[in-house]
Amino acid sequence: MEPRRIPYRWLIAIVLFVAYSIQYLDRVKSSVLTPSIAHDIGLTTTDVGTGAFLMLLFYGPSQYVSGLLTDRFGAKRMLIFSVIAWSVMTMYMGLLQTREEYLWRMALFGVLVGTEYVPSARILMRWFNREGRARAQTVLAWAWILTPAWASVLATQFAAHADSWRIVFYVTGAMGVLPLLLILFAVYDRPEQYPRATDDDLEYAYRDEIEAGVLRKGDYANVRQAIAPSGSVPLLGLLRNPTYVAVVFVDIVMQITLYGALTWIPLYLSDVFGFKLQTMGWWSSLYFVAGALGSFLSSYLSDKVFRGNRKIMIVICFVGLAPFVVLLGSLQHADPLLLAVALCGMGFFGNMAWGPFLALPAEIFSPEVYGKAMGFVNGAGYFVAAFSAKIFAALVVVDATGRKDYTYGWYFIAACVVAGIVASACIRSSKPQNAAALAAPARH
């Protein structure tokens, strides 16, 4: 018997995870090194909040534009552009000297690097069917869940030993060569474009279309022409689906929670508990290590146990997350046990929804319209999350001695999580809609 080979779709998922992980280094480094950057170029807490606001403000619309361009020109081309833009902007960060340069850089970074996620997810949605999409999305989501776990330690240790935060950005920016080569030589937009694709690869990828009668098993010669109509869907057609609208609101809460953790946990540990740079890196990593475990368990249950019912794990995510956010906000001194429980609980539950809800647009509609559908979802999520960074910064209280209290900021995040519970409760399982129904005028 021939040894059983790993399906190429999983190799693509791993390549995209590695590529996205390297790109995600910038946001992790920028977050954990914020205390050093702020001290060096004179940033206030308000400036840090404004920087996060500007990045997310422009990152959101860039996601939607990226989705449109991905559906039109192909995901691989967009990923190549994204990696090159990321490398340039990462090295530029090391050159900053003033507050104004920092704010301009954050805005430009949002515009140029908002092209990374949607093309990667679009490729996975075409290579995987409903049976494996949540797990495939979780592999990609590990890029922003696992990367902070090790990169926060690496960045802080590197900066401490080099006695410079700038060199960290120069070195990691040069690492963009690796994802560029991986994407060029190992990634294909569609399974039929891969020269060594087997019948099993193609049947698996197009199983949903075969079962729906759109394609005939074994006949993949004109697959794009056969399924092309499913990609002709206007934005208003997407928004007429109540579950899609619920997914938009779920993403908003997920982005607020994620960037709340990325932006504020390092500063919170530094300002409130007085942790030094290296110690803070280790504590910050607890959130993300727990997040990797929670996201894996959730996606497996969503695919294999609940058979594509995405709602269950999304609801569990928000219900489980809320008390741990409140616990973190209530801590006034460094109780090691409670701090570890709060960070691990937030990470575990706060990352459970990624795989299930990121798979939903391809299942509500079609992988052929995923770029536009997911681009709008992420665009809305990041746009609103941008304002949440400003709100959180405004809720940080500074007393007469200069001591900062982050309690109300974390309570704000908890309130958003409650809104996520409401949004996830509105998700309904449904069969994919066809393009004709979506493009038709709404009936009243």
pLDDT per residue over 109-122, tens digit each?
Answer: 988 888 888 999 99
Average pLDDT over residues 323-342: 87
Q: Name the percent of the chain lying above pLDDT 90.
A: 38
Beta carbons of 237 and 436 less than 8 angstroms apart: no
Sign of the C-alpha dihedral computed for residues 377, 378, 381 and 387 taken in this order = negative
CB 186 within 8 A of CB 13: no
Instruction: Check if the beta carbon of residue 399 is closer than 8 Å to that of residue 405.
Output: yes
DSSP code for 404:
E
What pLDDT does 285 receive?
A: 79
- Which pLDDT value is given to residue 1? 46
* Range with the poorest average pLDDT among 158-167, 296-305, 308-317: 158-167
Please indicate whether residue 52 or residue 129 has the higher confidence score (pLDDT): 129
Q: If residue 405 lies in a helix (H) or strand (E), which one and from where to where?
A: strand 404-405
Model confidence at 41: pLDDT above 70: yes
The separation between CA 171 and the C-alpha centre of its own chain, rounded to angstroms, equals 24
Q: Report d(CA 347, CA 98) in Å as an integer.
A: 34
Give the pLDDT band (50/70/90) at residue 408: very high
Higher pLDDT, 232 or 31: 31
| pLDDT exceeds 60 at position 328 | yes
Half-sphere exposure of 279 (CA within 13 A, CB side): 10
- Place 334 in a pLDDT band, splitting at 50, 70 and 90: low
Give the count of beta carbons closer than 10 Å to the beta carbon of residue 401.
Answer: 5
**How many whole angstroms separate alpha carbon 398 and alpha carbon 406?**
9
SS3 call for 397: strand
* Nearest partner of 376 among 67, 55, 53, judged by Cα: 67
| For residues 118-139, average pLDDT | 92
- On whether the CB atoms of residues 127 and 285 are closer than 8 A, the answer is no
> Which of 2-11, 105-114, 119-128, 204-213 has the largest mean confidence?
119-128
Could you give all domains of the chain from N- to C-terminal order, each with its CATH number? 8-439 (1.20.1250.20)
Average pLDDT over residues 373-378: 90
- Look-up of token digits 């399924």: 227
Q: Is residue 213 left, alpha or beta, with left meaning phi > 0 and alpha meaning psi from -120 to 50? A: left
Q: What mean pLDDT is predicted for residues 326-331? A: 90
Helix (H) or strand (E) holding 398, with range, is strand 397-398
Per-residue pLDDT for 2 more than 80? no
Q: Is the pLDDT score of 142 beyond 80?
A: yes
Q: Residue 177 is which amino acid?
A: V
User: Taking residues 395-405, what's their average pLDDT?
Assistant: 83
The dihedral built from the CA positions of residue 268, 271, 277 and 278, taken in this order, carries a sign that is negative
The three-state secondary structure class of 116 is coil
- How distant, in Å, are the alpha carbons of 66, 76, 129 from that of 189? 15, 6, 15
Q: pLDDT band at 243, cuts 50/70/90?
A: very high
Segment 248-276 shows an average pLDDT of 85
Task: Give the type of residue at 237.
Answer: G
